[in-house]
Amino acid sequence: DEDGRRPHARSFTQHKANIWMNKEGPKRKKNRKRSKKRTPLIGTCTSSNPGEIIGEPPQRPTLVSSEVEALQVESPKSAELGNCLRQSKVTSPRKGPSQKPLCNTGSQKTEPLLSGLHVTQPKHTEIASGDPSKTALKVASSNGPVSTLFTLNVEQTQQRASKIKSSKTANTESMKITQSKIRTSESETQPQVLLEGKTKLKQVNKKSPQKTSSSSELNVAQGCKLPFIPVSELLVADTHSSSIPAVNVENTHSKPNVKEKNTSSVTEETHMPNLPPMQFELNTVIMSEAKNKLDHLCNLLDSIVIEHSGKEGYSTNTVIPVLVDQTAKGTSEVAVIPSKFESLPGTVSECQGEKTKEDIEHERKARKEAKAMKKKGGDKSKSENDKQENFNCIKVEKKKAVQQGKPLVVSAVTEEKLPRGKQEPSGSSVPSQGTSQESTTAKSKADLKRERREKQEAQRQAKMIAKAKEVEKQTKGQEQVHLSNDKAKPAPKKKKSAGEGAKRSRDRRIPLLGHLPLHFSQLPIYPVNCDDIHPAVRTLGLKMRDRIVDGSTARVVSTLAALKRFINDYRTPESCDLSRDLAEKLLPNVAFLNACRPHAIAMDNAIRFLKHKVNSIEASMPEAQAKDELRTAIDDYLQENINLASSTIASHAASLIDDGDVILTFGYSAVLIEVVEAVCKGGSNISVVVVDSPHPSSGVSMVKKLSSMSVTTYYRLITDVTHIMHKVTKVVVEAEAVMMNGAIQGICGTAGLALAAATHDTPFIVLCHTYKFCNNDLTDSLVINELGDADSIVSCPSREYFGLLDNWRETQNLNVVSLVYDVTPACLVTALVTEQSVLPTSAVPVIIRRNYADILGQD
């Protein structure tokens, strides 16, 4: 049950976390520090990456240690860090190779996950150095596939932690802090998965790593010993659980120690990747042999990661998929990375011992093989998903053409490359940091440490004050911000723009809405050859992204239909539970849909229902029967909750409408058409005013349908609704979702309509299927919402103003927001028409409790 409701709850907590983090100035700093600390470790493990360290192998140890402790700049190399662009380079190559150890034990399939994981890391660093709203970016991005990664991470971290503990270091206490933190984050987000993960982990551990490649990729990744990842993951986990500043402070102090411990324990266990500074020289000698090759490799990785980091600017969720995609495509450059993954089965032994020349040679060989394999794989994938890809390309092209600022993109070999390249300079927000670091180069480590801490403290305080002021301002003008984002925005924005203007212009994160995933003009490209995602789901995802399938009901129907096809084609692997495996395989599909367009609440409910059904299938049930059961369950769900319910709602609503009524409605609503039909059938003569918003002008089709039924119809824009409201006798709209507190989530504009209706004392009737009821409380439309295409609202069709705002992204203090939903408070709703009966909004919790107790879980 918990599993069933988890996705939603998780996203919600994340939203909350976002908001929290937005408010928390000092936190961010911590993140930054950590993220930087992370890099050296990764660097050490790869050590062979010459990208940034060219020519200075002997200085590396010092560099690393300094970085580990406090990231100041002693070595000339680290001076380079001052440049953010460089920095991203620095981190990126390290990260690339750093996947090696993981992959050695894992199977090929871990690759997408792991690579995704790594891609998120540069993001974190950026976030940390960026403005507060950007922290949200990361969390928001972890909504989809990343969230799974997160579990994985936490798991790993725990392992790690236990290892460290076992190594009997004095710093167990600090470790405990981190552990407890991790645990809190676990318990908040996904306790059950963790449990599952653990159990699976045990299973996997029993098997030999080579064999595990068959079924559960994720598990393999967990099962393999991940010596260095844990530390970096610790950091990730920290960012999540960072809501406790006090703890964080301790944590930062303890960090260096922990790391030392890590290194020692690592040597003991001969997992090697994060080599301690002491051993570094030895390593560099060894690595120098592989250097030439790795040079090339790292350069390539540089470019890739830079591209990706640049990409965040406009699509957060896409980041993971993209990298995966690249690797999967097997473009000549990228193929190098995967090679390491693929060498796993053969080279598992490698990780067990110190790296020797033999090992390296071994590795090289394996890599070559892998390259060859990759090429093959890439070809295959291409042929398989040729059509899909073409489609993607076309879509991407189209969208990009629309989106100014990236017109060249399409001409590039891969779609993503250019925009990313373009955004390279975006990283330049860090220079100030860099210079400050340089100024301190002469000082000793300890001094630096202390100084830095002081500086941080001061900065934190300054930020706190600034934040407090800002919050004050925001609360003052909250109402305004709420209603007219554009007006209220400049106030908070100016403050931030002082420091990070350049970054913001690229990012276009909107204050207060930073937690919402940005509108995707680009497809979240999952690996084309990835079998995780069923073609039907893929097609649907594209359709939803392009708003071909729009409206919550349509989306629910098509989602369930697609998932039904997925279940149809599903085969249970041997030695696997259907319910368990299917639930797991369902996740990437659902995540894909979410990445294409954030789920509507109704979709979440439907998917939760399906998951619940899947989970409740008994292990003893034969596959055919189980699948049959699921299919009929889906059919029943659609029939009961949508088809039958719609007609019942129509008859209920028709009873509320009298002869001669003037009905006002908003946008397109299939149920409302049924209502009007029912009313007309009853012999009443009514007229309908269709109010429409200009952007998705769905009301046009509504008008067409109504006039074909020979109903007197008026068409208005929502801007002049007050003109006609006094003539209207009833306002009838359809809800996207109904919250536990009776608030109505509707298409943006509904709340305004409700206010207008209340002003004129016109009854405001809401039509809603009960499956759209949601056990969340919403009081404003900021917490749960979706960002629409902001470009669509600035593209003014009139000649006079055409294209005036096309380059709004470059304007410093201008934010263009297009929200998809808004929330109407319960007190503005006169009656809620559901298939059960006509209800007041206060009945919502009762209905939720009664109808969905089994799905919604214990809480």
Partner 1 sequence: MKAYISTFLKQIESDDDMSPAIAAMKALMESLRQDDSTTLQEFIEKMKDAREALSDTDVSVVSVSSGCELFMRFITLKHLELEQAADFASCREILLRRGEDFIKSMEENRKKILRSSNTLIKDGMTILTHSRSRNVLAVMTEAAKQGRQFDVFVTESQPDCSGCRMADELKAAGIPCIVILDSAVGYVMERVTAVMLGAEGVCENGGILNKIGSCTVATLAHLKNKPVYVMVESYKFIRTIPLNNSSLPKKYLHRASVLKSDRDLKSAHPLVDYTPPQNLTLLYTDLGVLPTSAVTEHLIKLYT
Residues forming contacts to partner 1 in the complex (CB under 8 A) are 656, 658, 730, 761, 763, 765, 827, 830-831, 836-840, 842-843, 846-847, 850
- The CA distance from 238 to 181, in Å, is 7
In the complex, the smallest distance separating the C-beta of residue 830 from partner 1, rounded to whole angstroms, is 5
Indicate the residue among 278 and 846 with the shorter CB distance to partner 1. 846
Indicate the residue among 587 and 844 with the shorter CB distance to partner 1. 844
Kindly list the distances between the CA atom of residue 796 and the CA atoms of 548, 582, 694, in Å, as whole numbers in the listed order: 22, 47, 10
Indicate the residue among 324 and 758 with the shorter CB distance to partner 1. 758
In the complex, the smallest distance separating the C-beta of residue 763 from partner 1, rounded to whole angstroms, is 4
- The CA distance from 262 to 98, in Å, is 16
Phi-psi region of 715 (alpha: psi -120 to 50; beta: other; left: phi over 0): beta
Quick one: CA dihedral 559, 561, 564, 565, positive or negative? negative
Q: In sequence order, what are the residues at sequence separation of 6 or more whose Cβ sits closer than 8 angstroms to the Cβ of residue 762?
A: 664, 725, 728, 729, 730, 731
In the complex, the smallest distance separating the C-beta of residue 731 from partner 1, rounded to whole angstroms, is 10
Nearest to 247 by CA among 308, 156, 180: 180
In the complex, the smallest distance separating the C-beta of residue 487 from partner 1, rounded to whole angstroms, is 31
In the complex, the smallest distance separating the C-beta of residue 851 from partner 1, rounded to whole angstroms, is 10
Q: For tokens 């030392």, what's the residue?
A: 260
- The CA distance from 456 to 710, in Å, is 70
Structure tokens at 778: 């919403």
Structure tokens at 134: 């950007």
DSSP annotation of 819 reads B
Contact at 8 Å (CB) between 26 and 468?
A: no
In the complex, the smallest distance separating the C-beta of residue 834 from partner 1, rounded to whole angstroms, is 11
Q: Which long-range contacts (CB under 8 A, 24 or more apart) does 586-591 make?
A: 586/610, 586/611, 586/614, 587/148, 588/145, 588/526, 588/530, 588/532, 588/533, 589/532, 589/533, 589/534, 589/537, 589/562, 589/563, 590/7, 591/144, 591/145, 591/147, 591/148
Indicate the residue among 660 and 803 with the shorter CB distance to partner 1. 660
For helices 110-129 and 319-329, angle between their N-to-C axes, nearest 10 degrees: 140
In the complex, the smallest distance separating the C-beta of residue 757 from partner 1, rounded to whole angstroms, is 11
Indicate the residue among 195 and 853 with the shorter CB distance to partner 1. 853
Indicate the residue among 39 and 834 with the shorter CB distance to partner 1. 834
Nearest to 514 by CA among 240, 787, 794: 787
Indicate the residue among 102 and 832 with the shorter CB distance to partner 1. 832
Indicate the residue among 411 and 842 with the shorter CB distance to partner 1. 842
In the complex, the smallest distance separating the C-beta of residue 847 from partner 1, rounded to whole angstroms, is 8
Indicate the residue among 258 and 848 with the shorter CB distance to partner 1. 848
In the complex, the smallest distance separating the C-beta of residue 539 from partner 1, rounded to whole angstroms, is 40
In the complex, the smallest distance separating the C-beta of residue 762 from partner 1, rounded to whole angstroms, is 9
Q: In sequence order, what are the residues at sequence separation of 6 or more whose Cβ sits closer than 8 angstroms to the Cβ of residue 781?
A: 482, 745, 748, 751, 819, 821, 822, 823
Structure tokens at 32: 């930054």
Indicate the residue among 345 and 825 with the shorter CB distance to partner 1. 825
Structure tokens at 13: 């907590």
Indicate the residue among 709 and 827 with the shorter CB distance to partner 1. 827
Structure tokens at 646: 């719609």
Q: Which helix (H) or strand (E) holds 832?
A: strand 831-833
- The CA distance from 393 to 217, in Å, is 29
In the complex, the smallest distance separating the C-beta of residue 842 from partner 1, rounded to whole angstroms, is 3
Indicate the residue among 201 and 757 with the shorter CB distance to partner 1. 757
In the complex, the smallest distance separating the C-beta of residue 653 from partner 1, rounded to whole angstroms, is 11
- The CA distance from 821 to 745, in Å, is 6
Indicate the residue among 90 and 833 with the shorter CB distance to partner 1. 833
E strands present in 742-819: 744-747, 764-767, 773-774
Q: In sequence order, what are the residues at sequence separation of 6 or more whose Cβ sits closer than 8 angstroms to the Cβ of residue 257?
A: 169, 170, 171, 174
In the complex, the smallest distance separating the C-beta of residue 835 from partner 1, rounded to whole angstroms, is 13
In the complex, the smallest distance separating the C-beta of residue 845 from partner 1, rounded to whole angstroms, is 8
In the complex, the smallest distance separating the C-beta of residue 836 from partner 1, rounded to whole angstroms, is 8
Kindly list the distances between the CA atom of residue 341 and the CA atoms of 112, 327, 328, 373, in Å, as whole numbers in the listed order: 10, 11, 12, 11
- The CA distance from 385 to 833, in Å, is 45
In the complex, the smallest distance separating the C-beta of residue 736 from partner 1, rounded to whole angstroms, is 22
Structure tokens at 421: 């390249």
Structure tokens at 50: 């010459």
Indicate the residue among 591 and 766 with the shorter CB distance to partner 1. 766
- The CA distance from 739 to 682, in Å, is 32
Three-class SS of residue 336?
helix
The strand order across the sheet containing 730-734 reads: 712-717, 687-692, 662-666, 730-734, 764-767, 831-833, 838-839
Indicate the residue among 466 and 847 with the shorter CB distance to partner 1. 847
Indicate the residue among 560 and 831 with the shorter CB distance to partner 1. 831
Phi-psi region of 508 (alpha: psi -120 to 50; beta: other; left: phi over 0): left
Indicate the residue among 582 and 754 with the shorter CB distance to partner 1. 754
- Residues paired with 765 in a beta bridge: 732, 831
CA 145 to chain centre: 7
- The CA distance from 139 to 12, in Å, is 11
In the complex, the smallest distance separating the C-beta of residue 764 from partner 1, rounded to whole angstroms, is 9
E strands present in 621-740: 662-666, 687-692, 712-717, 730-734, 737-739
CA 265 to chain centre: 34
Indicate the residue among 651 and 836 with the shorter CB distance to partner 1. 836
In the complex, the smallest distance separating the C-beta of residue 684 from partner 1, rounded to whole angstroms, is 13
